[in-house]
Structure 1
Amino acid sequence: MPESEVNSAREAGSDLHLELSPTGPRRAAVAAGLREAVRSGRLAPGTRLPPYRSLAADLGVARNTVADAYAELVAEGWLTARQGSGTRVADRVTPRPKRATTDPKHVATDPKQATTDPKHIATDPKHATTGPKGVTTDSKLLAAGSNGVTTDSGLGAAGSNGVGAGAERGAGGIRERAAAVVHNLRQGQPDATSFPRTAWATAVRRAMSAAPHDAFAPADPRGRPELRHALAGYLARVRGVSATPDQIVVCAGFAHGLRLLFGGGVLSGPLAVEPYGLPFHRGILADAGVRTIPLGLDDRGARTDRLSSHPGISSRRGARAVLLTPAHQFPTGGPLLPARRAEAVDWARGRGGVVLEDDYDGEFRYDREPVGAVQGLDPDHVVYLGSVSKSLSPAIRLGWMVLPPHLVEAVLAAKGLREAWTGVTDQLALAEFIESGRYDKHVRRMRQSYRARRNLLVATLAERAPHVAVTGIAAGLHAVLRLPPGTEAATVEAAARAGVALDGLAAFRHPDSPEPHRDGLVVGYSTPAEHRYRPALDALCRALPPPLQRSARAFDHTGLSK
Structure 2
Amino acid sequence: MSVIQGRTAAEVVDSVRTLIRQGELDVGAVLPPIRALAADLGVNRNTVATAYAQLAAAGVVEARGRAGTTVLGLPSVQGEGAAPSSAAVVNLASGNPDPLLLPDWSNALTGYRPVLYGTEPVEDRLRSWAESTMVTTWPEPSTSTSAPAPTSAPAPVTSPVPPRPDAGRLSVTGGAVDAVERLLAAHLVRGDAVAVEDPGFFLSVGTLAAGGYRPCSVDVDAEGMVVDSLAKALAAGARAVICTSRAHNPTGASLTAARAAALRDLLAAHPDVLVIDDDHFSQIATTAHHPVIPATARRWALVRSVSKFLGPDLRVAVLHADTGTVERIQHRLGRPTWVSHLLQHTTSALLTAPDHEAVCARARDLYGQRRDHLTAALAERGVEVFPATDGLNLWIPLRTTEAVVVDGLARRGWAVRAGSAFSARPHPAPALRVTTATLTPEHAVAFAADLHTLDTLPTPQRNRP
- TM superposition score normalised by structure 1: 0.57
1:201 aligned to 2:115? no
SS at match of 1:544: helix
1:293 aligned to 2:216? yes
1:267 alignment partner in structure 2: 188
Aligned CA distance change for structure 1 residues 322 and 293 (closer, same or farther; 3 Å): same
2:451 alignment partner in structure 1: 544
SS at match of 1:401: strand
Match of 2:280 among 360, 369, 389: 360
| Cα distance between partner residues in 1 of 2:106 and 2:394 | 32
AA aligned to 2:276 is L
AA aligned to 2:411 is R
| Cα distance between partner residues in 2 of 1:190 and 1:181 | 20
1:190 aligned to 2:190? no
Alignment check: 8 A CA contact 1:188 1:390 kept: no
Alignment check: 8 A CA contact 2:183 2:325 kept: no
Aligned CA distance change for structure 1 residues 299 and 442 (closer, same or farther; 3 Å): closer
AA aligned to 2:395 is V
Once the two structures are superposed, residues 439-460 of structure 1 have per-residue CA deviations (whole angstroms, 9 ceiling, x without a partner) of: 3222111111212222332344
2:412 alignment partner in structure 1: 498
Once the two structures are superposed, residues 220-262 of structure 1 have per-residue CA deviations (whole angstroms, 9 ceiling, x without a partner) of: 473223212222213357x668999971111111111122123
| Cα distance between partner residues in 1 of 2:455 and 2:405 | 14
Deviation at 1:398, TM superposition (A): 1.1
Alignment check: 8 A CA contact 1:272 1:295 kept: yes
Aligned CA distance change for structure 1 residues 190 and 360 (closer, same or farther; 3 Å): same
Match of 1:522 among 414, 425, 433: 433
Once the two structures are superposed, residues 115-159 of structure 1 have per-residue CA deviations (whole angstroms, 9 ceiling, x without a partner) of: xxxxxxxxxxxxxxxxxxxxxxxxxxxxxxxxx963xxx5xxxxx
AA aligned to 1:322 is V
Alignment check: 8 A CA contact 2:224 2:254 kept: yes
AA aligned to 2:242 is L
AA aligned to 1:494 is G
Once the two structures are superposed, residues 249-289 of structure 1 have per-residue CA deviations (whole angstroms, 9 ceiling, x without a partner) of: 111111111221233x3334221112212333222222222
Deviation at 1:340, TM superposition (A): 4.3
Alignment check: 8 A CA contact 2:408 2:454 kept: no
| Cα distance between partner residues in 2 of 1:281 and 1:191 | 23
| Cα distance between partner residues in 1 of 2:360 and 2:306 | 10
Once the two structures are superposed, residues 415-438 of structure 1 have per-residue CA deviations (whole angstroms, 9 ceiling, x without a partner) of: 111335x43222113223323443
| Cα distance between partner residues in 2 of 1:502 and 1:258 | 26
Once the two structures are superposed, residues 160-184 of structure 1 have per-residue CA deviations (whole angstroms, 9 ceiling, x without a partner) of: x242x4xx7xxxxxxxx5x555211
Aligned CA distance change for structure 1 residues 450 and 245 (closer, same or farther; 3 Å): farther
2:227 alignment partner in structure 1: 304
Higher relative CO (Cα under 8 Å, sequence separation at least 6) belongs to 1
| Cα distance between partner residues in 1 of 2:128 and 2:436 | 33
| Cα distance between partner residues in 2 of 1:363 and 1:452 | 17
Aligned CA distance change for structure 1 residues 549 and 498 (closer, same or farther; 3 Å): closer
Match of 2:251 among 332, 338, 356: 332
Once the two structures are superposed, residues 180-201 of structure 1 have per-residue CA deviations (whole angstroms, 9 ceiling, x without a partner) of: 552111252111133222xx32
Alignment check: 8 A CA contact 1:363 1:443 kept: yes
Match of 2:171 among 211, 234, 249: 249
Once the two structures are superposed, residues 51-88 of structure 1 have per-residue CA deviations (whole angstroms, 9 ceiling, x without a partner) of: xxxxxxxxxxxxxxxxxxxxxxxxxxxxxxxxxxxxxx
2:70 alignment partner in structure 1: none
1:407 alignment partner in structure 2: 325
1:386 aligned to 2:301? no
| Cα distance between partner residues in 2 of 1:378 and 1:389 | 31
| Cα distance between partner residues in 1 of 2:423 and 2:196 | 11
Match of 2:396 among 478, 481, 486: 481
| Cα distance between partner residues in 2 of 1:331 and 1:185 | 13
1:431 alignment partner in structure 2: 348
Aligned CA distance change for structure 1 residues 371 and 278 (closer, same or farther; 3 Å): closer
Aligned CA distance change for structure 1 residues 240 and 543 (closer, same or farther; 3 Å): farther
Once the two structures are superposed, residues 389-420 of structure 1 have per-residue CA deviations (whole angstroms, 9 ceiling, x without a partner) of: 11121011111221112211111101111335
Aligned CA distance change for structure 1 residues 449 and 379 (closer, same or farther; 3 Å): farther
1:322 alignment partner in structure 2: 241
| Cα distance between partner residues in 1 of 2:351 and 2:401 | 45
The alignment yields a C-alpha RMSD, in angstroms, of 3.4
Aligned CA distance change for structure 1 residues 196 and 300 (closer, same or farther; 3 Å): closer
AA aligned to 2:382 is H
Alignment check: 8 A CA contact 1:182 1:499 kept: yes
AA aligned to 1:291 is R
Aligned CA distance change for structure 1 residues 488 and 442 (closer, same or farther; 3 Å): same
Aligned CA distance change for structure 1 residues 296 and 231 (closer, same or farther; 3 Å): same
| Cα distance between partner residues in 2 of 1:271 and 1:230 | 30
| Cα distance between partner residues in 1 of 2:230 and 2:397 | 29
Aligned CA distance change for structure 1 residues 337 and 446 (closer, same or farther; 3 Å): closer
Aligned length, in residue pairs: 363
| Cα distance between partner residues in 2 of 1:370 and 1:525 | 21
Deviation at 1:474, TM superposition (A): 1.7
1:447 aligned to 2:361? no
Aligned CA distance change for structure 1 residues 218 and 236 (closer, same or farther; 3 Å): same
| Cα distance between partner residues in 1 of 2:344 and 2:118 | 11
Between the two proteins, what is the percent identity of the paired residues?
A: 25
AA aligned to 1:387 is S
List gaps (5 residues or longer) in structure 1: 1-147, 155-160, 169-176
Alignment check: 8 A CA contact 1:323 1:355 kept: yes
2:425 alignment partner in structure 1: 511
SS at match of 1:521: strand
Aligned CA distance change for structure 1 residues 279 and 429 (closer, same or farther; 3 Å): closer
| Cα distance between partner residues in 1 of 2:209 and 2:306 | 25
Match of 1:226 among 125, 136, 139: 125
| Cα distance between partner residues in 2 of 1:202 and 1:327 | 31
Alignment check: 8 A CA contact 1:228 1:245 kept: no
AA aligned to 1:525 is T
1:469 aligned to 2:384? yes
SS at match of 1:470: coil
Alignment check: 8 A CA contact 1:492 1:504 kept: yes
Deviation at 1:523, TM superposition (A): 1.5
Deviation at 1:294, TM superposition (A): 1.2
